[in-house]
Amino acid sequence: MAKPQFTDHQHVPHVFTQHNGEQLDLTFSNQEFDRRLTLARKLLTDYDLDAFVLTSMHNIKYYSDFVPSPFGRTFAVVITPEKSTTVTPWVDGGMPWRTTYGENIVYSDWEAANFFRAIDQVLAEQSIKPSKLGIEFDGLTVDEYKSFQSWFESVDLVDMAEPIMLQRLLKSDEEVYLIRQGARIAEIGARAIKNAIREGVTEYELAFVGTEAMVPEIAKVYPSKELRETFSLVQAGLNTDGAHNWPTTRQLQKGDLLSINCFPMMSGHYTAVERTMTLGQPDKATLDIWKINMEAYELGLSLIKPGAIAQEVAAEVNRFFERQDLLKYAPIGYGHSFGVMSPYYGREAAMEFREDIETELQPGMVISMEPMLTIPNHLPGAGGYREHDTLWINENGVENFAEFEVGPDHNVID
C-alpha cells in the first residue's frame, strides 16, 4: 500500500495570536484579577520560580477568567513576573482571547509539540530561559507530565497545586457577591422543582424544570458570560442513596423519599442548595432518620465560626451520629469550600469538614454545611438524607446565604 502524501506543514500556522472580535466584560474587575496575580507572583518569588504553567481548568479560570472546554486538548495559563497569558487550541477560535484577562496565544493541532512551542514563545518574548517552573501535578495526566519532563528536560518542575489552592480559599468581596447570587439563583431552581413535584413525574423532567428556571436568571445577572454547565439533580427512592446520582426516567411515587439539588454554574463557579423532601407523608423510620440528620445539620451550623477548626467540627458531628448509632451510614465529610469548581474541576480539598483536615476557619472563606446519611435498601428508612447550605465566614461572624425552607415541617409534599 502506498504511503499517504502528507501536507507540508511549514505553510500551516502553528503558534499565533487571534484577536477576533472585541473583548467581553469580565466576571470580576481588573483590580480583582490583579489581586490574584499579585498573590501568584509572590509565590513565584517565595519558591524562586521563573514562571507558572498552570493547566487545570480551575486555575486557568481563576487567573484569566477563561473557562476551557478541553475535548482532549491541553490548555494553560502562563504567569510570569510581568504578564499572564492563556495558551489555547486554535479550535476554540477567538473566544479565549475575548474572555481572557491578560494575553492569549493560540496553537494549532498540526504538530503535537505546538502546545509547548506556544509556552516557549510566551517565555522567550519576555527573555525568560526557565530553570524552575511551577506546575500542577494534580492537573496533569501521567502522559502529560512525561511530556512536560521531555520538553523541559533541563528545567526543575515544581508542584505548586497546594500553595495555589490555599490562596483560593479566601474569597474577595467580588467573589462573595457572585456566590451570594449563585445561592439565590439555586433557590429559584429548587422552588420551581418543589412546585412541580407530583406523582408520576420523572426525575429528569423535574431536573429540567430546575435548570430551565435558573439559566435565564444567570443570563440576566451575567449577560456577557457563557451559559454552561448549570444542572439539577433530582433523586427518588433508591436513587437518593448517592449525593451525585444523575436523574433517571424513574417516576415519582407516593411515599418516595426525595432529594433535590440545584447547581447554577456561574462563570465556572459552583453554588448549590440541597433539600430532602418526601412525596406524601413519610413512614416512621424515614421521619426519624430525617429528623436526626436535621439535628446534625443544625449542630454543624452552630459550630461554624471564625477560628473553628475543620477537624473539630467534623469530630463533633461524628460523635453526634455515633451516639445515634448512625455514624456507619455517614459516607462523607460535612461540607467543603466554594469557589471555582464543578463536578469536573476545582475541589479546594484543604477546606473540608473531615477529621484529617486541620484548617482553621477564617474570614473570607465560603463553605457548605451538609451532613448526609445513607441507609441501605434492606433497612427501614432506606435512602439518602441531605441538607445543604452556603455560609460566608466574615469579620462579624457567619452569614448563611440559604433561605429555602428545610426539614419535615416544610418539605413533605402532599
Three-class secondary structure of residue 51 per DSSP: strand
Q: Are 373 and 160 in contact (CB under 8 A)?
A: no
Residue 132: closest CA among 45, 206, 209, 218: 45
Q: How far apart are CA 175 and CA 337, in angstroms?
A: 13
What is the enclosing helix (H) or strand (E) of 276? Answer: strand 273-279
**Residue 299: count of CB within 10 angstroms of its CB:** 18
Considering the candidates 244, 269, 336, 410, report the single residue annotated as catalytic: 244
C-alpha cell at 410: 416544610
**What is residue 279's DSSP assignment?**
E
Is 244 one of the catalytic residues? yes
Distance in angstroms (rounded) separating the CA atoms of residues 284 and 251? 23
Nearest to 276 by CA among 390, 384, 133: 384
**CB < 8 Å & 24+ apart, contacts of 7-15:** 7/110, 9/110, 9/111, 12/108, 12/110, 13/90, 13/108, 14/107, 14/108, 14/110, 14/111, 14/114, 14/117, 15/105, 15/106, 15/107, 15/108, 15/114, 15/117, 15/118, 15/121
Q: Quote the CA–CA distance of 282 and 412 in Å, as a whole number.
A: 8
Catalytic residues, by residue number, are 244
